Amino acid sequence: MRMKIIDGKELAQNLRSEIAAGVASLKAQKGIVPGLAVILVGDNPASVSYVTAKEKACEQVGILSREIRLPATTLESNLLSLINELNADSAIHGILVQLPLPTHISEKAVIGAIAPEKDVDGFTPVNVGRMLIGEECFLPCAPHGIVKLIEASGINANGKHAVVIGRSNIVGKPVAALLARKETNATVTLCHTGTRDLERFTRQADIVVVAAGRPGTLTGEMLKPGAVVIDVGVNRIADSTRRKGFRLSGDADFESCAKVAGAITPVPGGVGPMTITMLLWNTLESAKRC
């Protein structure tokens, strides 16, 4: 069987065309233009590049992005006031605060201040709770994109064993929950830094989602032949031959994994474009509810 490269860019592009059509029709029918506030505190280079990509994607589909760049010294109280203003602003349907925040600001307080009906990242306790009990909510973007990517690649997760590596609130925990939902119906093992003998679990997996934030976490010898690898990692590796001085690498060692896997997402061009697309999707959904 040939190894398949799962093209997140292509699927994201198809979905973005659908979203653009939805945005145009909402404008024509109700005169509403979806608006997303994108808040970045500080100038972490990876975060700058993520929010720039999000803003560009908004423009591509006709969503209005309000870019709010704040200095790293911003007080938590000022950020909370800004969020309260955006909660009350009828032109804004989604609020995104790029994480991580500077350490003097409580992420818990900031995320908790976002109105759940504008929480297009799906990070507030209300939306996380709704997701866990199967109520309608904004699903977190990377986990939602991963499930869509798996489905669109013709991979049926029903009854399969999915091993998730990483227990972050942004990816690991929610993707484990979504894969275990009845609609997806996978049997899920959640591995993390406390897991002993990681390979013992990954070798039993039909699907491995690696979101550990560390390059080389998953190698080919840790896989069962034919397994599906979803690589969520985006790591900058110093590379003087590149214009920017670095190249991107996932958490999986692509070369060795590709020799054993049945399908694998590349980095870049796998999960990343889907994450941004699901943010656009949620913003359109939020505007439709007005």
Active site residue ranges: 54, 98, 121
* Cα separation, 249 vs 237, whole angstroms: 7
CA distances from 238 to 43, 52, 235, 246, 253 (A): 19, 21, 10, 4, 16
- Residue 73, judged by CB atoms within 10 A of its CB (0-12, 13-18, 19+), counts as exposed
3-class secondary structure, 208: strand
* Cα separation, 88 vs 256, whole angstroms: 51
Q: Which of residues 232-251 bind ligand GUN (CB under 6 A)?
A: none
By CB under 6 A, tell whether 83 contacts ligand GUN: no
By CB under 6 A, tell whether 99 contacts ligand GUN: yes
**Stretch touching ligand GUN by CB under 6 A, among 9-17, 91-99, 143-151, 155-163:** 91-99
CB 289 within 8 A of CB 253: no
By CB under 6 A, tell whether 109 contacts ligand GUN: no
By CB under 6 A, tell whether 114 contacts ligand GUN: no
Q: State the residue number with the nearest CB to ligand GUN.
A: 99
- Give the shortest CB-241-to-ligand GUN separation in angstroms: 27
Token pair in block for residue 202 = 């990954």
**Stretch touching ligand GUN by CB under 6 A, among 23-31, 93-101, 204-212, 250-258:** 93-101
By CB under 6 A, tell whether 267 contacts ligand GUN: no
Q: Among 12, 97, 113, 188, which residue sits at the site for ligand GUN (rule: CB under 6 A)?
A: 97
Token pair in block for residue 59 = 């423009």
Residues of this chain that bind ligand GUN (CB under 6 A): 96-99, 121, 141-142, 170, 275
